[in-house]
Chains A and B, each alone.
Chain A
Amino acid sequence: MNLLNYVPGNSFLHRLNPITKLAAAFLYGLACILCGSILMELGFIVLMIAVCAVAGLGKRALRLTRNLLILGLFMFVLQLFFVRTGEALVQIGEFVLITTGGLASALLLSLRVVATMLPLMLLFAITPMNDLCNALVKKAHLPYRYAFILTTAFRFVPLFSTEFHEIQDAQKARGVDFETKNLFRKIGLVAPLCVPLLVSSLEKVNSSAISAEMRGFHLRTRQSGYKEYPFTGRDVLIFVILISLVVFSALFL
């Protein structure tokens, strides 16, 4: 399962205006950045998962959290070794010194990373890319060509990955063994595949451009979009809640 795929649904989260969803994800992230308490960061993560669970996305939220925690762990380790304030907790030899200040700031930072990224990642589960871009063109007056770049980039990811596997299979058929445990050896084997991948991708991009051109890409204006994305009371409510959350987090947490 791709963790950035759209999950079809009709929950209250799905029904929000795409721009509201985008803004909400950013505001939630901002609140997490402003927050300075380890406990409250944990609270933000749990709250996000709970909201998603209500919208039927609990499984996706948990899987994302788990993946983000790996990134968080990396940040945690780095921070733990480099921040040396407060009391010394453990000292091994000359170089390793773990302090209370280091521990606290490492915990805060890693949880903050998870809490900030989570809503942004979940945005893709509840918003079809096309809707997000169309809404940005209509409401935020984003030039269509930029919106098109964004949608196309997302659409091409699975195409490229299929392409990559095809090239890899072709190499396997010629006796290249990719199943090595040695990371450096693996990189050495995979890196040369980037050239054919790049060449075939460029060809795809070119035919994609011609096809869009033949269907009047350059004639498009902001009014062209067929779907409308009106803001409703629900959207206003979400904005009010999230702005209060940011203010609350900045002042009290």
Chain B
Amino acid sequence: MIVADHVTFQYAESSEPALRDISLSIDDGDFVGITGTSGAGKSTLAMALNGIVPHEWKGDFYGSVKIDGMDTVEHQTEDFCRKIGEVFQDIDSQMVASVVEDEILFGLENFGVPHGEIKIRLEKVLEDLGIPDLRKREISSLSGGQKQKVAIAAILALEPRILVLDEPTGELDPESSREIFGLLRKLNEEKGITIVIIEQKIKLLCEYVKRLIVLDKGALAFDGVPGEIISHIETFKTLGINVPPVAELSYLLRQSGVYDGGITLTVQEAEKMVREVLHDPV
């Protein structure tokens, strides 16, 4: 469980705070999506949640972040880096090896996992992500989606309880993006891993996450289940965040008084809604 209490952070070389007075708590087993326009402080928030801010990035840090009760300022990163893993935005620079197998071994070796167990974990994580055939491949020869899976595998092998991902689908096509989200949902549901994902693609977020957080200029602008965004659609528009078209459609239909159901987040739901409005059953 992560608890952030009135967190404000300003990078050393900056004149504006990147995070302003953020208080939130993330429960075990949650699937949280963080979105916002660029420069809203999404990456900084993700790094504040796992102690990279303020340990690796210098600046003024106010408030506190506690991971399972451990204060990130008082403890060093190595104390909680086994509880919480982060997949960074730049895929290439977070890799440490040139072959997939070595990349996954790196963390396992460092954390002193017994050698007998390393083999089991390595094979299992490749299996879980559906990439056993990539084991001996050179990382530079992989596609973006494959690299992303390798990066996730390298973190998952360490069996963290919380997984933070910074725009994991940033350079992927829609199909691979969906695949990554499906994979994260599976990890969340089957293994109970808490997932915190930063993402621009709000349509995917609305479909997959259990909880949505929107940042605006470093401050919390929205924190709730995706279904609640219907009452905030005007706010979202002023923040420059595109809500999914299907959600907007349900909002507009509700505004015009022909529909009084809940928000629709997927095309299937929207189809049902439109048929209902038109009195045209399948």
Q: Is the CB of B93 within 8 A of A211?
A: yes
Give min CB distance, A144 to chain B, whole Å. Answer: 9
Contacts of B90 in A (CB 8 A): 204, 207
Number of interface residues of B (CB under 8 A): 37
Q: Is the CB of A211 within 8 A of B110?
A: no
Contacts of B93 in A (CB 8 A): 159, 203-205, 207-208, 211
Q: Bound state CA distance, A215 and B52, in angstroms?
A: 12
Contacts of A152 in B (CB 8 A): 96
Given contacts A215-B154, A216-B107, A216-B111, contact A129 B77 (CB under 8 A): no
Q: Is the CB of A220 within 8 A of B110?
A: yes
Q: Is the CB of A151 within 8 A of B97?
A: yes
Give min CB distance, A220 to chain B, whole Å. Answer: 5
Given contacts A219-B112, A220-B109, A225-B109, contact A212 B85 (CB under 8 A): no
Give min CB distance, B256 to chain A, whole Å. Answer: 47
Contacts of B7 in A (CB 8 A): none
Q: Is the CB of A224 within 8 A of B81?
A: no
Q: Is the CB of A208 within 8 A of B109?
A: no
Q: Is the CB of B98 within 8 A of A155?
A: yes
Which residue of the partner chain B has the closest CB to A152? B96
Interface residues of B in 42-57 (CB under 8 A from A): 50, 52, 56
Main secondary structure of the interface of A (DSSP, over half): helix
Interface residues of A in 4-29 (CB under 8 A from B): 6, 8
Contacts of B158 in A (CB 8 A): 215
Instruction: Check A213 for interface membership: any CB of B closer than 8 A.
Output: yes
Given contacts A207-B90, A211-B94, A219-B78, contact A130 B99 (CB under 8 A): yes
Instruction: Check B163 for interface membership: any CB of A closer than 8 A.
Output: no
Given contacts A128-B98, A226-B105, contact A207 B110 (CB under 8 A): no
A-B contact sample (11 more), CB < 8 A, given A216-B107, A216-B111 = A8-B136, A130-B97, A151-B97, A208-B95, A210-B52, A213-B81, A214-B77, A215-B107, A217-B110, A224-B112, A226-B108
